[in-house]
Chains A and B, each alone.
Chain A
Amino acid sequence: MQTTPSYERYQRQLILPNFGEAAQQKLAAACVLVIGAGGLGCPALQYLSAIGVGHIGIVDEDVVSISNLHRQVLYTTDDLGKLKTEVAQDRIQKMNTNCIVLTHSVAITQFNAFDIISNYDVVLDCTDNFNARYIINDACTLLKKPIVFGAVFQYEGQVAVFNHGIDAVHYRDLFPVSPTAAEAPNCIESGVFNIVTGIIGTLQAGEAIKIITGIGEPLSNRLMSYNSLSLNVYTVKLSKNPDAKKNTPATKEEFLQYDYNQFCGLHHLKDEISAEEFDALRNRTDVQLIDIRNKDEQPHVDELNAIRIPLSELKFHIDLLKKEKQIILFCHSGIRTLDALDILQDECQLNNVSHLKGGIIKWLDYKSNKK
């Protein structure tokens, strides 16, 4: 640590009040896990590496796609189709050669969470779905690891620190009941202002640095909401929720057996058709394609022989659905079709319906990668 190149690299932070050599050594010894290398994960990884965190782990199963580039600032057009973990590892390793970067190119699940998380001191939740957020929360709570939580919606963001400090609360104390995917849409479905992920991800890195070094007051037991349009920041205090305890797995065994799909309203997993399957099925005569997007919604795809029945009108046009065929529903990103499945299966008792996972954009993506 005392060598001149390191001193010069970190000089501007070493001279900060209350920072100094001790804080730098704590950072060099720290192991930080960033789960999700997307809009939040990219800036978080950059700042964690640049400040001198010694060991950084990156969890993500996805490859870089073109719609990521407006906010996932570690990636370039040349990286399309490459694993995010590997590109991110290469970039942040080059930014700071003192940093050891490990990749976990998988989605976080209840079956791998313990093995991955147990090697780290602090976990950044930079994911984009509730299933992963509850899995991370429960694993970290059982393993007693602090979580720096970040999430975005359009022009707004949330940051919080869980499992840290006295009478520490966690995500289930804040939201004991998970919304379904349709109730709280992600960036694909609702859009996101790119700088919001930049700011929230950067704040997450800052909270992790504060936890490691002991400087300042982390957002423990507090939730900060940020609005990029008004530039208002609204911070509320959190406390233990009696409803949280009955839903939180109390042991590793309970955690492994927990039904996260059911809890997060993902009971339609069995009705999913992948983009590849969809591509193979779409021209068959025993298949009927239903586009449930609104009338003028883009992208318009001429080569799909689909009937357009907007979700809001679906109930009134059941007669257009062919009971003898396999019906495949699609929308923009595969979120609204979950509501459509509820309507058709539960209310209309149709059992020949499935939906395109990831929606029309996933299929277009699949087609362009196939070329």
Chain B
Amino acid sequence: MDIQILLFGSLVDVFGKKQLQLAQVNDTDTLRLALSARYPSIRDAKFVISVDKKITVENTAIDTTSEIALLPPFSGG
């Protein structure tokens, strides 16, 4: 089963879509590695990962039912 990932802000442009599917990974650290491996252009992008609507501050377990979102910082005003 794939995991579904919601994208925000500039990440929509980087990935070219609003939502991503990715083969299942077990935690957020592995997710970051999997994303960088598959999409080298996001290697330097700054974003935080939210799992089930909570911003993760350390490695966090995920499964196929987790709601995952990648949120970049915005600076405009």
Residues of A within 8 A of B (CB): 36, 38-41, 126-130, 133, 150-154, 156-158, 173-175, 177-179, 181, 183-187, 190, 192, 197, 223, 225, 227, 234-243
CB < 8 Å: which of B57, B72, B76 contacts A186?
B76
B74 and A238: CB pair below 8 A?
A: no
Most chain A CB within a 10 A radius of its CB, from B54, B58, B71, B77: B77
Most chain A CB within a 10 A radius of its CB, from B44, B45, B74: B74
Residues of B within 8 A of A (CB): 6, 8-10, 44-46, 48, 50, 53-55, 57-58, 69, 71-77
Grouping DSSP codes into helix (H, G, I), strand (E, B) and loop, the B interface class, with mixed when no group exceeds half, is loop
Q: How far is it, in angstroms, between the C-alpha of A129 and the C-alpha of B73 when the chains are bound?
A: 11
Considering the complex, give the chain A residue whose CB is closest to the CB of B54: A237
Q: How far is it, in angstroms, between the C-alpha of A227 and the C-alpha of B74 when the chains are bound?
A: 13
A177 and B76: CB pair below 8 A?
A: no
Check A153/B57 contact, CB under 8 A, given A183-B46, A234-B6: no
Residues of A within 8 A of B8 (CB): 156, 225, 227, 234
Residues of B within 8 A of A128 (CB): 75-77
Q: How far is it, in angstroms, between the C-alpha of A186 and the C-alpha of B44 when the chains are bound?
A: 18
B76 and A151: CB pair below 8 A?
A: yes
Considering the complex, give the chain B residue whose CB is closest to the CB of A237: B54
B77 and A41: CB pair below 8 A?
A: yes
Q: How far is it, in angstroms, between the C-alpha of A40 and the C-alpha of B74 when the chains are bound?
A: 13
A133 and B75: CB pair below 8 A?
A: yes
B72 CB to nearest A CB, Å: 7
B54 and A239: CB pair below 8 A?
A: yes
CB < 8 Å: which of A40, A177, A235 contacts B77?
A40
A44 CB to nearest B CB, Å: 10
Considering the complex, give the chain A residue whose CB is closest to the CB of B46: A179
Considering the complex, give the chain A residue whose CB is closest to the CB of B73: A175
A237 and B53: CB pair below 8 A?
A: yes
Q: How far is it, in angstroms, between the C-alpha of A234 and the C-alpha of B8 when the chains are bound?
A: 10
Q: How far is it, in angstroms, between the C-alpha of A36 and the C-alpha of B9 when the chains are bound?
A: 22
Residues of B within 8 A of A41 (CB): 77
Considering the complex, give the chain A residue whose CB is closest to the CB of B6: A234
Q: How far is it, in angstroms, between the C-alpha of A303 and the C-alpha of B20 when the chains are bound?
A: 46
Sorted from nearest, which 3 A-B pairs have the closest CB atoms? A151-B74, A128-B77, A153-B74
Considering the complex, give the chain A residue whose CB is closest to the CB of B71: A225
Residues of B within 8 A of A243 (CB): 57
B56 CB to nearest A CB, Å: 9
A241 and B57: CB pair below 8 A?
A: yes
A183 and B77: CB pair below 8 A?
A: no
Considering the complex, give the chain B residue whose CB is closest to the CB of A200: B77
B6 CB to nearest A CB, Å: 7
CB < 8 Å: which of B58, B69, B77 contacts A150?
B77
Q: How far is it, in angstroms, between the C-alpha of A300 and the C-alpha of B73 when the chains are bound?
A: 32
Considering the complex, give the chain A residue whose CB is closest to the CB of B58: A242
Q: List 13 A-B contacts (CB under 8 A).
A: A38-B77, A39-B76, A39-B77, A153-B9, A174-B73, A184-B73, A185-B75, A187-B76, A187-B77, A190-B10, A223-B55, A227-B8, A239-B57
Q: How far is it, in angstroms, between the C-alpha of A157 and the C-alpha of B57 when the chains are bound?
A: 22
Q: How far is it, in angstroms, between the C-alpha of A236 and the C-alpha of B10 when the chains are bound?
A: 18
Residues of B within 8 A of A187 (CB): 76-77
Residues of A within 8 A of B10 (CB): 153, 184-185, 190
Most chain A CB within a 10 A radius of its CB, from B9, B46, B53, B54: B9
CB < 8 Å: which of B6, B53, B77 contacts A151?
B77
